């Protein structure tokens, strides 16, 4: 009986060494979760008959360290949850903590093993999340978008004097405006329907000595356009009172720009512009719209957004990663050291965007390291060695006793 008990101990120790060796071998594997062999007693009736490995537990809930990689498509999860990937061969949904992503040649977000990463696609020009599924990456080009809005915020100095020359004299490309007819000018870039760039210059001119009104004249590519507008301010508070709502609609649809392109009506928003004394300043001066662009790369945002970049300087969110959490993540079925599949005991996954519900947030340009504690594993090796020696000693003693018995007989 003692021989069998000691033999079962050696066999169990050998099995536990498999877990220890796997842990040590994967100490440098991103997203690896250490495992532990759990010993159980073998009992026949009321009589102990040895030991066995009753189960193996992975420390899925223990997070590894975070390594900053500097790569825009690397991500780690800070907290609970798993990235979701679909196996390219079987179509099976798998869960992992390894966030090494890339754009595939057929235009989808994939992980390091080629599995399609699951998330919420976003239609270009929209912020609405689509249904959970593969995340497409538009690797081609994006069309030009004409300008329809321009935001300008500044301070029209209350110290401005009425220009020496009035009224404003219309300009042409060959004859620029007379500097004596305005107090300040600011240029903005606007785009036509084919993505052509045009320079829209605003000329600001004080019209009354009471410091409550400034005329704005608009010049596109050196020629007057539109009828202009007046900005009026409360002389007590310096706040903008006219135009109503702070916006002015500049109609440039009649301007011929060539190549069949057209310009749009542009809403110029002066909200926030003031008429205080002191220096005249500009704090915002930007129009929407852009030229056509070609895909140059993709990166991840801190909210899990998949952001495509183009050579025209535009960036567009084309999707958002999904994070899955489980009622009992420790019951997930491992398919390797860094990936799991759903099991009956793990429960149904709850899928959300990063940082929503129980799901963790995203750390970009970083990866989760293995959670293996090498020191503990080495101590476990020494413990296994002592246990192995003790069981071997039992077998040796049993053998000596049987030999002595046989000699006595």
Could you tell me if 347 and 95 are in contact, meaning their C-beta atoms sit under 8 angstroms apart? no
Q: Which pLDDT score, from 0 to 100, does residue 87 have?
A: 92
Identify the domain boundary among 271, 287, 303.
287
CATH number at residue 202: 2.60.98.20
Task: Indicate if 6 and 37 belong to the same structural domain.
Answer: yes
- pLDDT digits over 190-217, tens only? 999 999 999 999 999 998 878 889 999 9
Q: Which residue has the higher pLDDT, 392 or 134?
A: 134
Q: Which pLDDT score, from 0 to 100, does residue 208 have?
A: 82
Could you tell me if 299 and 72 are in contact, meaning their C-beta atoms sit under 8 angstroms apart? yes
Task: Indicate if 207 and 279 belong to the same structural domain.
Answer: yes
Sign of CA dihedral 121, 124, 126, 127: positive
Task: Indicate if 179 and 219 belong to the same structural domain.
Answer: yes
Number of folded domains that form the chain? 3
- pLDDT digits over 369-379, tens only? 999 999 988 89
Span 124-149, average pLDDT:
89
**What is the span of the domain harbouring residue 213?**
149-287
- pLDDT digits over 171-197, tens only? 665 577 888 889 999 999 999 999 999
Could you tell me if 30 and 370 are in contact, meaning their C-beta atoms sit under 8 angstroms apart? yes
Task: Indicate if 56 and 44 belong to the same structural domain.
Answer: yes
For the chain, first and last CA: distance in Å? Answer: 21
């Amino acid at each position: 009986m003692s021989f069998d008990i000691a033999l079962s101990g050696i066999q169990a120790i050998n099995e536990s060494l498999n877990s220890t060796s796997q842990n040590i071998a994967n100490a440098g594997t991103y997203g690896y979760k250490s495992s532990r062999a759990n010993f159980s007693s073998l009992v026949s009736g009321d009589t102990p008959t040895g030991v066995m490995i009753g189960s193996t537990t992975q420390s899925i809930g223990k997070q590894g360290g975070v390594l900053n990689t500097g790569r825009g498509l690397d991500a780690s999860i800070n907290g609970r949850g798993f990235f979701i990937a679909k196996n390219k061969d079987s179509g099976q949904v798998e869960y992992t903590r390894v966030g090494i992503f890339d754009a595939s040649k057929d235009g989808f977000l994939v992980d390091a093993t080629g599995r399609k990463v699951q998330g919420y696609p976003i239609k270009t020009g929209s912020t609405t999340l689509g249904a959970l599924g593969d995340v497409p990456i538009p690797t081609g080009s994006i069309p030009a978008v004409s300008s329809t809005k321009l935001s300008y915020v500044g301070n029209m100095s209350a110290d401005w004097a009425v220009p020496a020359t009035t009224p404003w004299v219309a300009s042409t490309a060959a004859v620029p405006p007379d500097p004596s007819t305005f107090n300040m000018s600011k240029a903005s870039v606007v785009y036509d329907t084919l993505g052509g760039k045009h320079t829209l210059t605003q000329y600001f001119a004080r019209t009354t000595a009471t410091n409550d009104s400034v005329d704005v004249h608009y010049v596109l590519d050196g020629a007057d356009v539109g009828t202009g507008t007046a900005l009026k301010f409360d002389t007590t508070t310096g706040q903008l009172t006219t135009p109503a709502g702070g916006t002015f609609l500049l109609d440039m649809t009649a301007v011929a720009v060539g190549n069949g392109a057209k310009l749009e009506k542009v809403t110029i928003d002066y909200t926030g512009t003031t008429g205080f004394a002191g220096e005249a300043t500009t704090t915002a001066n930007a129009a929407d719209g852009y030229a056509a662009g070609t895909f140059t790369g993709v990166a991840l945002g801190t909210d899990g957004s998949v952001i495509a970049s183009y050579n025209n300087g535009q960036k567009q969110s084309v999707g958002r990663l999904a994070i899955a959490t489980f009622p009992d993540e420790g019951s997930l079925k491992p398919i390797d050291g860094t990936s799991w599949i759903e099991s009956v005991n793990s429960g149904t996954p709850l899928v959300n965007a990063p940082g929503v519900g129980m799901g963790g947030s995203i750390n970009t340009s970083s990866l989760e390291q293995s959670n293996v504690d090498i020191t503990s594993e080495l101590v476990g090796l020494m413990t296994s060695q002592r246990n192995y020696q003790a069981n071997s000693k039992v077998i040796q003693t049993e053998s000596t006793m049987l030999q002595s018995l046989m000699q006595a007989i």
